[in-house]
Amino acid sequence: MIKNTEIPIQNERVELGIRYIGYTLGRDVYKDRDMLLLRKGLTLTESYIDRLKRNGVIHIYVYPGKAENSEASIHKHE
């Protein structure tokens, strides 16, 4: 049996905005509870934030701090 001794990193609820470009999404984002807009773990870009705003999203969950290699992640996910 393998024990996980790492302390899980908590994600936090924040108001959607461009200041979170480069942050990692902490939870899946849905529209009307059934339409997935963005998946957890994705690195936020300006275009993803714009998409969420167009779909009426006001708050999201992110992990604290920008993602490592956020520049590479941004290009990878677009």
Phi, psi dihedral angles at 55 (to 5 degrees): -95, 10
Cβ neighbors of 15 (< 8 A, separation 6 or more) are: 58, 59
Query: What is the Cα–Cα distance from 34 to 30, expressed in whole angstroms?
Result: 6
Residue 5 domain flag: no
Residue 22 domain flag: yes
pTM for this structure?
0.73
Q: Domain of 30: which CATH number? A: 3.90.105.10
Instruction: Provide the residue range defining the domain that includes 17.
Output: 12-68
Over the stretch 22-73, which tens digit does the pLDDT of each residue have?
999 999 999 988 899 999 999 999 999 999 999 999 999 999 988 876 554 4
Total domains in the chain come to 1
Residue 33 domain flag: yes
